[in-house]
Structure 1
């Protein structure tokens, strides 16, 4: 396989047509080697428009489609001075993308083998500003209140509803990106903390993604 041709085609035929037009995001996707974050058994799927299984270590866990990863990254609009929390490290690829955009990233993972995979992948890729924390599923769903507030939070998977406790870990002006709802149609929703006691939200696009462990049920957050 011509790796660079496959990467180019992924960007031009999958990602750009899905309204990912931020030049910085497109450039980053050309630089960060997605294939290095894919389990060896699935390396041929690295640039395919599909979810990639993360192997026998994590039944049901997967890397999201490249176009979905790119769109989530674009909508979150992470800046170089910001501190970011990700829930659901997986293989570490999204954390690597966030690390190239942010000052510091903490990513939580409840599957021990995936936490180890993400750490190894990030180290091999030379991404030094990302910390992988192994937590239980229940702990992961609570975020990281001891290290809040965060400028941005990304949930790398779907949830029934976003817990209020996660929204309270945002700085005023901070953003949280999540895929919310139930199959077959979920919505990528961007929350912004507008004051100490208020948040706004906007549904950005329709999609679907596997449920994050620990978020199988959720309490509804209302404004």
Structure 2
């Protein structure tokens, strides 16, 4: 039985999926071409780690598609001096990518098992500037303010607390709205308040607890 060439699969993912979807930031492409995505998905799905699809992680959670991950990282324009907050990144892959691009990363993940697996994968890749705390992003509180925030699940409406965690001049990638017509946006914390830039349409699973309340039909 032949062993899969993950290095070649990574190269094809970047050249055939990510780059054609208008991800042209060379630093983002370099990280996605070198960071082993298969290390951040369950062993049973590693052969599919570079496919154009969301992979099940268990507990009803899924990875994002590589193209969405690439667009999210590109939108944030992460700099080597940035402090980044990642919310709901069950696999740890986006946390790892941000760790390669920025100064420091704090990830908030509500599932203890996901956090444990992600910490192990980060250690295996020698990414020492990323920390994972176990908490519900919708309930968690902090006095820290961040250069960039990456929300790895959709929300019905953007929680004000997420915007409050941005430094002046900070930016946040988040997907908002209702399936199947959701909108990925970049929120900027400017002097005159937050400003929202529409990026692209997509459809993602909701961050746990962030789905709209069900409406009853009579």
Distance 1:111 1:25 in 2: 27
Given that 2:185 and 2:197 are in contact with CA atoms closer than 8 Å, whether structure 1 keeps it comes out as yes
Counterpart of 1:14 (choices 7, 12, 17) is: 17
| 1:132, distance to aligned residue in structure 2 (A) | 0.4
Given that 1:89 and 1:132 are in contact with CA atoms closer than 8 Å, whether structure 2 keeps it comes out as no
Partner of residue 156, structure 2? 160
- Aligned to 1:141, what secondary structure does the other structure show? coil
Partner of residue 39, structure 1? 42
Given that 1:91 and 1:121 are in contact with CA atoms closer than 8 Å, whether structure 2 keeps it comes out as no
Distance 2:141 2:69 in 1: 22
Given that 1:142 and 1:165 are in contact with CA atoms closer than 8 Å, whether structure 2 keeps it comes out as no
2:174 matches 1:178: yes
Structure 2 residues not aligned, in runs of 5+: 214-218
Counterpart of 2:183 (choices 184, 187, 197) is: 187
| 1:144, distance to aligned residue in structure 2 (A) | 4.0
| 1:189, distance to aligned residue in structure 2 (A) | 0.6
Structure 1-normalised TM-score? 0.90
After TM superposition, list the pairs within 5 Å mapping 1:1-223 onto structure 2: 1-55=4-58, 58=59, 60-135=60-135, 137=136, 140-146=137-143, 148-195=144-191, 198-217=193-212
Distance 1:142 1:168 in 2: 14
Q: 1:143 to 1:178 in 2, by over 3 A?
A: farther
Distance 1:142 1:193 in 2: 21
Distance 1:142 1:83 in 2: 21
Structure 1 residues not aligned, in runs of 5+: 219-223
How many residues in Structure 1 have an aligned counterpart in Structure 2? 210
| 1:62, distance to aligned residue in structure 2 (A) | 1.1
Distance 2:161 2:46 in 1: 37
Report the RMSD for the aligned CA atoms in angstroms: 1.3
Given that 1:180 and 1:187 are in contact with CA atoms closer than 8 Å, whether structure 2 keeps it comes out as yes
The list of structure 1 runs, each at least 4 consecutive aligned residues, that deviate by more than 2 angstroms after superposition, is 142-146
- Aligned to 1:78, what secondary structure does the other structure show? coil
